[in-house]
């Protein structure tokens, strides 16, 4: 099927922003004397804030009396401040998206908050390239459920089989594939061994090869 739309994840795909999530969470957890190790944050890559917190609670790293919604609200406030002057757009991404926008409909679908996504896109000058922008608040079930990608295709007016998703995590890849979409995984945050369910895996340094590859999909 020829590709008609490209749907981007945000964290680790357009922006090197996983570290911003980590910084925001650390500031929140410090108030409660909660200390996490690098593996805890690593396991949170690509998942929603609630799923991240639920995993930590199951591992007894977050006390039962702490309200998740309060933690998430604090984290969302912190990350907007952290990212205000620190968008960390990945190299060559502006040119890449600009080029694709002249050939395909372009969208964003992310487990991050809509405010955070919008802030990054506006600050980096990318906002006008995107026809649809969806964040965690726009769906009930976050990735790995396919809901956000299905809703995105509906808003684009393009069937899932004509959409290509660019992801960087197994959570996102699973969501894209379950939505019936082609998925390209880029190795920016995780190693290739974590991304094997994608249709194509590329190193971030080869991101420009995606344009020609998309044209070859029939």
Q: pLDDT by residue (tens digit) across 31-73?
A: 999 999 999 998 898 999 999 999 999 999 999 999 999 999 9
Total domains in the chain come to 2
Distances (CA, A) of 115 to 60, 128, 181: 30, 16, 26
Q: Could you tell me the pLDDT band of residue 218, with boundaries at 50, 70 and 90?
A: low
Q: Which residue has the higher pLDDT, 108 or 63?
A: 108
Do 178 and 92 share a structural domain? yes
Do 11 and 24 share a domain, yes or no?
Answer: no
- Same domain for 139 and 121: yes
pLDDT at position 212, please? 86
157 and 97 housed in the same domain:
yes
Give pLDDT tens digits for 163-184: 999 999 999 999 999 999 999 9
Q: pLDDT at position 84, please? A: 81
Same domain, 48 and 153: no
Mean pLDDT of the chain: 94
Which residue range(s) make up the domain with 62?
18-83
pTM of the prediction?
0.91
Of the listed ranges 79-83, 111-115, 181-185, the one predicted with least confidence: 79-83
Among 29, 62, 83, which residue terminates a domain?
Answer: 83
């Amino acid at each position: 099927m020829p590709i008609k739309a490209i749907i981007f994840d945000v964290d680790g795909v357009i922006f090197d922003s996983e570290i911003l999530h980590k910084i925001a969470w650390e500031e929140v957890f410090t108030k409660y004397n909660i200390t996490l190790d690098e593996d805890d944050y690593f396991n949170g890559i690509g998942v929603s804030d609630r799923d991240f917190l639920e995993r930590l609670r199951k591992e007894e790293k977050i006390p039962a009396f702490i309200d998740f919604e309060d933690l998430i609200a604090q984290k969302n406030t912190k990350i907007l401040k952290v990212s205000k002057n620190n968008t960390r757009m990945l190299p060559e991404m502006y040119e890449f998206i600009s080029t694709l926008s002249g050939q395909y409909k372009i969208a964003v679908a992310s487990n991050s908050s809509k405010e955070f996504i919008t802030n990054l896109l506006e600050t980096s000058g990318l906002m006008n390239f995107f026809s649809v922008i969806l964040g965690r608040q726009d769906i009930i079930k976050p990735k790995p459920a396919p809901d956000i990608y299905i809703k995105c295709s509906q808003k684009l007016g393009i069937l899932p089989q004509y959409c290509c998703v660019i992801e960087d995590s197994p959570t996102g890849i699973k969501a894209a594939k379950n939505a019936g979409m082609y998925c390209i995984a880029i190795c920016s945050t995780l190693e290739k061994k974590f991304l094997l369910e994608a249709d194509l895996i590329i190193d971030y340094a080869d991101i420009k090869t995606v344009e020609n590859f998309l044209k070859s999909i029939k």
